Amino acid sequence: MNRKLVTSAADLKDGLVPPSYDRYRTQSSKKKKCPLKIFSGQKCGRALALWENVPISLLLLFEQEKAIRICGISDTETYIYFAHVHTGRNYKLGIYTGRGGDILDCIIKPALIIFLGNKLCSIILFTNRKERWRPPCVQKTSSCLVVPMATGMSLVLCLLTVRSQRPSSKFVIWSRIDQKSCFKSISTAGFKAIVVENLLEGDELRTDVPAIEKQISNLDPENIAAVMTTTSCFAPRGIDRLEEVATLCAKYDVPHIINNAYGVQDSKCMHHIQQAARVGRVDAFVQSTDKNFMVPVGGSVIAGFDAKFIELVGKTYPGRASGSPLLDLFITLLSMGTNGYKKLVKERKEMKTMLVEKMEELAKNYDLKVLSTKNNPISTAMTVPVVDGSSLTELGSMLFLRGVSGTRVIATDEEKTIAGHKFIGWGSHSSNYSHPYLTAAASIGMTSNDVDLFIQRLEKCLNKFVVKQHKNSNSTITSSLEVNDLLEAIQDKENVA
Ligand SMILES: *Cc1c(COP(=O)(O)O)cnc(C)c1O
């Protein structure tokens, strides 16, 4: 190991460690060459790369040792009852983030992990231009905040922060995306959603920018809390036209919040966010930790180009929060390293290409078509045989029974009321999409085995489905899922295991 050791607090140049923690650290472990010291002296951008494969257990052990030294007598000391919860699940850290009602304040015990978790995330998201490696980053972003809430709740937090700055605002203009949590975030934050339908361009659904502008001027910009756009979504919807919306937001002085739920894993999504901020207004963009960084559900990253706004978002959050999502993220990012992440991002892109190619092959055999959606880098859609809606549900169930999760069969004629708004064609991002389809996505961590298995099972289901439809049309028996289906599905699963 030829890593440079840091020997004094004076070597800490780049703010990797909060000053309070650093004082504490240098006082309590003067003689120890702890692994944290190696980390703390490196330039922010390189640190993560250097830390690839450093035993994380060492780091956690070190934190535990710290914890033992502390004599805690406040109400927030975490005395943990059950041993496995204490040592197994939490590394002897009753880890949480925040103090005295403020999530941004560092507490001593797990301070470094929380703090570095945040920093590492910023490195991935918005690294310095000079660094050699290039994860899919947004440059010149000034701030990010990792919070232990999923994306929908983080969007709520952003909207509530906007409210404090625009007290008379009532509306959020929302470019339609058929995903419940982002739509619900608007009503949960106490705003009325103004739904702007998408425009059909070829097979693809895109942002209706003139309609957004019309709504802004009709409703009066002052009454509008924000415009909410989305990058990552199910095909056949494409990435929103972020640059054009950002330009409108700058023109009318209206905040712009971007739902980037699973967009970090794709450079196109990140690139458009960066461009949008360059030509117009972007107040915050929010992404999920589980969807982008291969950790369990529970966290998201709220990022933006104005550090003050992001700080305000942090201040809006009432109280402390669980540090577990951050700990997961911290451990994961350290073990991945930037190179590891870059590799995963590259592989994902290849998987997307492979997925589309194989679906195209399959589609040909069944006289179906993969929809042309070039502005969606993650998800893809393929038409399904045209039958009545209830039969389509059956195709969905077939796939589900065969352990294919994440694919959706969209009938395009479903009606659904969510938070008081009636959506026609729910699931298809449009009230009049012309034909039913199914979707599949290539997300980070996916392997070619996953793609092969999906194609194999999809083929089986399509085969069965087509035969069955044919049979049904020739007889009066309209059976639903048969026991045979179930047995076969179980067998399939066993073969895999
Ligand atoms: C996952 C996701 C969200 C957020 O859902 P949470 O469960 O709150 O994380 C929002 N929009 C889209 C498009 C998503 O995929």
pLDDT in tens, 62-110: 455 454 445 555 555 567 888 888 777 776 666 667 766 777 665 444 4
Q: Is the Cβ atom of 112 under 6 angstroms away from ligand 1?
A: no
Q: Which class for 267: exposed (0-12), middle (13-18), buried (19 or more C-beta within 10 A)? A: middle
- Using the mean position of ligand 1's atoms as its centre, give its distance from the Cα of residue 151 in Å: 6
Nearest CA to 212 among 187, 195, 234, 190?
195
- In this structure, the strands spanning 171-175 and 192-196 are parallel
Averaged confidence pLDDT in the chain: 79
Q: What is the mean pLDDT of residues 359-388?
A: 93
| Tally of CA atoms within 13 A in the half-sphere of 209 that contains its CB | 11
Query: For ligand 1, what atom is nearest to the CA of residue 288?
Result: 9
Would you say residue 410 has pLDDT above 80? yes
For residue 277, what pLDDT is reported?
A: 92
How many whole angstroms separate alpha carbon 159 and alpha carbon 461?
A: 43
- Using the mean position of ligand 1's atoms as its centre, give its distance from the Cα of residue 152 in Å: 6
Given the candidates 3.40.640.10, 1.10.10.10, 1.20.1250.20, 3.40.50.11750, the CATH classification of the domain at 123-327 is 3.40.640.10
- Using the mean position of ligand 1's atoms as its centre, give its distance from the Cα of residue 182 in Å: 6
Is 241 marked as a binding-site residue? no
Q: Is the Cβ atom of 261 under 6 angstroms away from ligand 1?
A: yes
- Residue ID of nearest Cα to ligand 1 atom 12: 261
Q: Which residues of 317-345 are buried (b: 16+ CB within 10 A; e: fewer)?
A: beebbbbbbbbbbbbbbbebbbebbbebb
Query: For ligand 1, what atom is nearest to the CA of residue 290?
Result: 9
The CA-atom distances, in angstroms, between 306 and each of 45, 278, 286 are 20, 13, 14
Looking at the DSSP bridge assignments, the partners of residue 97 are 321
Q: Which residues of 444-453 are buried (b: 16+ CB within 10 A; e: fewer)?
A: bebeeeebeb
Is 402 marked as a binding-site residue? yes
**Per-residue tokens: 141:** 């972003």
pLDDT digits (tens, 9 = 90+) for 213-259: 999 999 999 999 999 999 999 999 999 999 999 999 999 999 999 99
Share of the chain above pLDDT 90, in %: 48
CB atoms within 10 A of CB 49: 18
Instruction: Give the CATH H-level superfamily of domain 346-496.
Output: Aspartate Aminotransferase, domain 1 (3.90.1150.10)
Q: Is the Cβ atom of 152 under 6 angstroms away from ligand 1?
A: yes
For residue 340, what pLDDT is reported?
A: 79
Residue 465 confidence class, pLDDT cut points 50, 70, 90 = confident
Pocket test for ligand 1, best of 153, 232, 288, 289 (most atoms within 8 A of CB): 288
- The more confident residue out of 21 and 349 is 349
Query: For ligand 1, what atom is nearest to the CA of residue 300?
Result: 9
- Whether 346-496 and 123-327 are alike in CATH topology: the answer is no
Residue ranges of domains in the chain: 1-94, 123-327, 346-496
Radius of gyration of the chain (CA): 25
For residue 73, what pLDDT is reported?
A: 57
